[in-house]
Amino acid sequence: MVGILDEYRERYRGRPIWRLIEEGYYKPWERLRVTHIRGWDLHVKSESWQLEGPLRMLFHVLDPEVAKDPEHLIVYGGTGRAARSWEAFEAIVDTLMTMEEDDTLVVQSGKPVAVFKTHKMAPRVVISNAMLVPKWADWEYFRELERKGLTMYGQMTAGCWAYIGTQGILQGTYETFAFAAEKSFPEGNLEGRLVLTAGLGEMGGAQPLAVKMNGGVAIVVEVDKKMIERRIRHGYLDTWTDSLDKALDIALKAKEKREALSIGLLGNAAEVFPEILRRGIVPDVVTDQTPAHDPLSYVPAGLSPEEAEELRDKDPREYEKRALESMKMHAKAMVEFKRRGSVVFEYGNNLRKMAYEAGYKDAFEFPGFVQAYIRPMFEEGRGPFRYTSLTGNPRDIERLDDELIATFKHNKRLVRWVENARKHVKFQGLPARVVWLGYGERARFGKLMNTLIRLGEIGPMWIGRDHLDTGSVASPYRETEGMKDGSDAIGDWPILNALLNAAAGATWVCFHHGGGVGIGYSIHAGIGLVLDGSRESELRAERVLTVDPGLGVVRHADAGYERAREIACSRGIWSPMLQC
């Protein structure tokens, strides 16, 4: 990485990348190829993994094998970026490389704005993305500010440099389908069941493999052939066709044989879902992961991706109007599937709200996935615990897989997941794993990981998570939908999460607006934690990995969930409001 930067500086005598781009001499996606960094050589002046870690994760999320559109700094989720511009990217890289180990970098919506002297246990980076004063928090005003170069959309883990490819959402998707099967079908799995869904983007791409790992047959509708090809290349999708007749024939035969299989269908969900209804076919499960959170990312019915891009540039208002009308058709079909006996849920992309805004008043007839299946896990402080090998060694992940199975052998669901992930998941960028661990389990495993690093059995590691977690998000149409006490829209909890993680010593802390469901509908916090085997990183792990899920337990206990109260009282989380 240093060699690449040195090369362009020597060639262009120190003129910045952004100026060369403007003058047409330099294309960063051709000359400065951003790929993940491997090996033990440190590239930061401080020679500290606490600064090398965020640098490597920034490069990792923009690796072409990881990012959706690295040429434009887009990682996933419509337009979720890692940095606001190539100028900002270069400035972030240069700053991380030259900071001292007691400095803290401040990043405002993808642009580095200051470095302050703090202390060694403080975060090395603090990030806020897309935050707007609530009265102005809508897509129209956000886009006006974005056009002026004043902000950027960081999605959830894109702008927090915490995205690990499609695997990052895979276990959550796997768990959701598992819970849906256990709750809905006598056999407790998806064997002999047909799942209809849509969207094979960086998040939705996890769906076909998640269904297959649960034993089911998946038809996944996707409008962009490139996304289908990407999922097949990464091993998340078995086959594809552009014929509905062929897709249904393959799927129904596999269902009859109780064969696990995933089929990509090139088409538009707003057209395909109603057509399947018209044919009288009722899938066992219906959901969706198209980018409905952003009307300018959802491809309207009747348009190819290329035609959609042309209309988006030419007449964005007309585009939004057509996209919303298509979402209404899409949601109507899902409601009708539910009325005919399908298990139907929204997978957190705000499709119901968009369809409702387009005039479909029955859009909320089916629930969101958190309210329907995941909340009991959140009550226990259980959520997505991610980690990567910062040296890029796959054997580090294999060693930790062994430790997970040995340490949590009583957790049959977790062991089954790890065994499935070893078999099916291909790494993208730095080798990574995601596992859902609960309160107490995260700190225990983090400390074990740090010990293995100190003993030289694995290299330095990064730990993070999705912003979709037990106590880090307020999102009334997704994670906090239907809270027991009606506190769906209370936004204090993610703010407290970010503050608490900064106080506990996370390597970096992020606070974002709009991820998952779009601008105006959510706020959420994320973390990055680097372990290097030192006593200092053990303290960081113990504190951060305790307070982070611990606040989620408190949040749910405060809302009246009995399981959360039991966890808080039995595990020693003290609260003046809990009468243990």
CB 352 within 8 Å of CB 328: no
The closest alpha carbon to 377, from 366, 386, 385, belongs to: 385
R_g (Cα) of the chain, nearest Å = 23
Residue spans of the domains in the chain: they are 167-371
CB 139 within 8 Å of CB 354: no
Average the pLDDT over 47-54 and give the result: 97
pLDDT at res. 27: 47
3-state SS string for 448-497: HHHHHHHCCCCCCEEEEECCCCCCCEECCCCCCCCCCCCCCCCCHHHHHH
CA distances, 369 to each of 50, 72, 274 (Å): 36, 31, 22
Can you say how many angstroms the Cα of residue 12 is from the centroid of all Cα atoms in its chain? 37
Average the pLDDT over 62-66 and give the result: 94
The total of other beta-carbon atoms located within 10 Å of residue 496's CB is: 17
pLDDT at res. 32: 55
Instruction: Locate 50 and state its tokens.
Output: 């606490």
Which tens digit of pLDDT belongs to each residue from 294-347?
999 999 999 999 999 999 999 999 999 999 999 999 999 999 999 999 999 999
Average the pLDDT over 536-546 and give the result: 98
The closest alpha carbon to 51, from 386, 501, 502, 530, belongs to: 530
pLDDT band at 187 (very low <50, low <70, confident <90, very high): very high
Q: What is the mean pLDDT of the chain?
A: 93
Average the pLDDT over 104-132 and give the result: 98
Helix (H) or strand (E) holding 540: helix 535-558
Q: Reply yes or no on whether the pLDDT at 189 is more than 80.
A: yes
CA distances, 104 to each of 26, 127, 203, 333 (Å): 31, 11, 31, 50
Q: Reply yes or no on whether the pLDDT at 580 is more than 90.
A: no
Q: Reply yes or no on whether the pLDDT at 149 is more than 90.
A: yes
Residues whose CB falls within 8 Å of the CB of residue 495, separated by 6 or more in sequence, listed in order: 511, 523, 525
> Please, what CATH class does the domain formed by 167-371 belong to?
alpha beta
**Which residue in the block uniquely carries the two structure tokens 């796997």?**
174
pLDDT at res. 495: 98
Which tens digit of pLDDT belongs to each residue from 207-250?
999 999 999 999 999 999 999 999 999 899 999 999 999 999 99
User: C-alpha angle with apex 289: 287 to 290, nearest 5 degrees?
Assistant: 120
Q: Reply yes or no on whether the pLDDT at 20 is more than 50.
A: no
